[in-house]
């Protein structure tokens, strides 16, 4: 899981600080490392580091660079990959010039491509998916750089939203199924590309549109033009988990407000899984809060902001080890005793992945005096690992795989536990069913028959 951001100024003004700000808005998509790359004297230059953005990159050093085009990246990386040489963007100075890549997604045929490239003499310096794209381009040095990039992306399977710095030109591309979000914005003569529209807001840019699945957008001094990766798909695979959890609620993805989608999840959950005995509704901050608003609105059960979040603690789900996740829950969330004292409460959360947060919060709410704690989840049970870029790790670590719903309810200590149905999740997102990926809930992964070659 990653957040990517790119900027191009037609007037030649420096953009590095804007890229830095854009990455700040995307920090929720990755907290372990950050990087920014730009072109300097015809070669790729970069500022990178481990940890949160403000620790990874010194903002002051960016003010001294006059770069009119740059790309950036924040990333969540599983622990074995948390090394400096794996920090993106990854850059190279090859036969056709300077190129750097920021990538959100997962290349599913990476092993096959790596073996093929190594047999052709490639020497890999990192374990990132993005490096394979660079090597594929380098092996097509007889092509123009843009053509080499397009040819490389055609060989890639899986999910990708990429922003590429190509000889001072900004290029954005999205896989033919649209797994990962990618939007385009504009302010005056400057163009921006970002994982989410909230990153455009922070730099004062207007959202123009989404990068379409299978589209390549080229931004240079001539403006913006669109090309197609010659694939025609029978269906789309836009990630439903973006609307459930990953994206910020102030973002708009593929024309759908994340806020409105989450609120509708709560409304439909109230209809599907009512809790008439409850006296108060409370949401798990922050990703369950908006669904709780919808649940309270539809059910008529009073909404209380009964759980307070420490704003200086990161997401527990994307912490790399169980020990850190356990500690994170304790210091991240705190119930308000005055709200829950002798009350029957229905708690709304966005999802249960491993069950770490749910179990501890239910316990803390009981300790705060609640007489009953009913849990309602605004998404279906997570039953399958994601193959396309959300780190849910191995299937056997998923709580809903290890236990039935009654068993899980007992394990986390709730009086009742119910989930939103797949049908209602799709209805809440508001996109056609054949345009949404629900594989983590249903196991309906992409099939080769869902893709056919275009003309």
Dmax (CA) for the chain in angstroms is: 74
Mean pLDDT of the chain: 91
% of the chain residues with pLDDT over 70: 91
CB atoms inside a 10 Å sphere around CB 241: 24
Q: Is the pLDDT of residue 54 over 60?
A: yes
Lowest mean pLDDT among 46-60, 97-111, 223-237, 429-443: 223-237
Q: Is the pLDDT of residue 78 over 70?
A: no
Q: Is the pLDDT of residue 317 over 50?
A: no
Q: Please give the span between the terminal C-alpha atoms of the chain, in angstroms, as a whole number.
A: 32
Q: What is the pLDDT of residue 455?
A: 29
Look at residues 226, 248, 234 and name the one whose alpha carbon lies nearest to residue 176: 234
Look at residues 248, 105, 92, 272 and name the one whose alpha carbon lies nearest to residue 176: 105
Q: Per-residue pLDDT averaged across 322-344, rounded?
A: 79
Lowest mean pLDDT among 12-26, 75-89, 364-378: 75-89
Q: Is the pLDDT of residue 410 over 70?
A: yes
Structural domains in the chain?
Answer: 2-233 (3.60.20.10), 260-442 (3.40.50.2020)
Q: What is the pLDDT of residue 394?
A: 72
For residue 201, what pLDDT band results from cuts at 50, 70 and 90? very high
Taking only Cα atoms into account, the Rg of the chain, rounded to an integer number of angstroms, comes to 22
Q: Per-residue pLDDT averaged across 373-390, rounded?
A: 92
Q: Is the pLDDT of residue 14 over 90?
A: yes
Q: What is the pLDDT of residue 309?
A: 84
Higher pLDDT, 79 or 295: 295
Q: What is the pLDDT of residue 136?
A: 94
Per-residue pLDDT tens over the stretch 176-185: 999 999 999 9
Q: What is the pLDDT of residue 265?
A: 98
Q: Is the pLDDT of residue 295 over 80?
A: yes
Q: Is the pLDDT of residue 231 over 70?
A: no
């Amino acid at each position: 899981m990653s957040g990517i951001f790119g900027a191009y100024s037609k007037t030649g003004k420096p953009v590095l600080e804007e890229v830095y700000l854009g990455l700040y808005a995307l920090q929720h998509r990755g907290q372990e490392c950050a990087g920014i790359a730009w072109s300097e004297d015809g070669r790729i230059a970069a500022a990178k580091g481990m940890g949160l953005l403000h620790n990874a990159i010194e903002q002051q050093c960016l003010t001294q660079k006059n770069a009119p085009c740059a790309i950036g990246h924040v990333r969540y990386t599983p622990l074995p990959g948390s090394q400096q040489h794996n920090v993106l963007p990854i850059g190279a100075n090859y036969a056709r010039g300077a190129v750097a890549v920021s990538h959100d997604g997962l290349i599913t045929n990476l092993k096959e491509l790596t073996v093929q490239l190594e047999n052709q003499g490639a020497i890999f310096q990192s374990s990132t998916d993005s490096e394979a794209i660079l090597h594929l381009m380098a092996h097509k040095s007889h092509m123009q750089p843009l053509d080499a990039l397009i040819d490389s992306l055609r060989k890639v399977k899986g999910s990708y939203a990429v922003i590429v710095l190509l000889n001072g030109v900004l290029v954005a591309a999205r896989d033919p199924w649209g797994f990962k979000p990618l939007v385009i914005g504009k302010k005056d003569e400057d163009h921006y590309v970002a994982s989410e529209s909230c990153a455009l807001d922070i730099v004062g840019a207007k959202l123009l549109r989404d990068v379409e699945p299978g589209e390549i957008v080229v931004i240079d001094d001539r403006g913006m033009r669109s090309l197609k990766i010659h694939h025609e798909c029978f269906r789309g695979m836009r990630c439903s988990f973006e609307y459930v959890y990953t994206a910020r609620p102030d973002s708009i993805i593929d024309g759908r407000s994340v806020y409105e989608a989450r609120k509708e999840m709560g409304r439909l959950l109230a209809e599907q899984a009512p809790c008439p005995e409850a006296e108060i509704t409370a949401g798990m901050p922050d990703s369950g809060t908006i669904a709780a608003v919808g649940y309270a609105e539809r059910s008529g059960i009073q909404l209380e902001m009964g759980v307070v979040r420490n704003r200086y603690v990161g997401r527990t789900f994307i912490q790399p080890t169980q020990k850190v996740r356990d500690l994170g829950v304790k210091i991240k969330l705190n119930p308000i005793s005055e709200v829950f004292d002798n009350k029957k409460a229905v708690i709304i959360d966005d999802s249960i992945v491993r069950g770490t947060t749910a179990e501890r919060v239910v316990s803390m709410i009981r300790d705060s005096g609640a007489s009953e704690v009913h849990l309602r989840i605004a998404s279906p049970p997570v039953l399958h690992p994601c193959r396309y870029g959300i780190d849910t790790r191995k299937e056997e670590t998923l709580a809903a795989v290890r236990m039935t719903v009654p068993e899980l309810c007992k394990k986390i200590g709730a009086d009742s536990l119910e989930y939103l149905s797949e049908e209602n999740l799709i209805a809440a997102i508001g996109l056609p069913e054949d345009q949404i990926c629900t594989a983590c809930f249903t196991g309906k992964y992409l099939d080769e028959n869902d893709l056919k070659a275009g003309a």
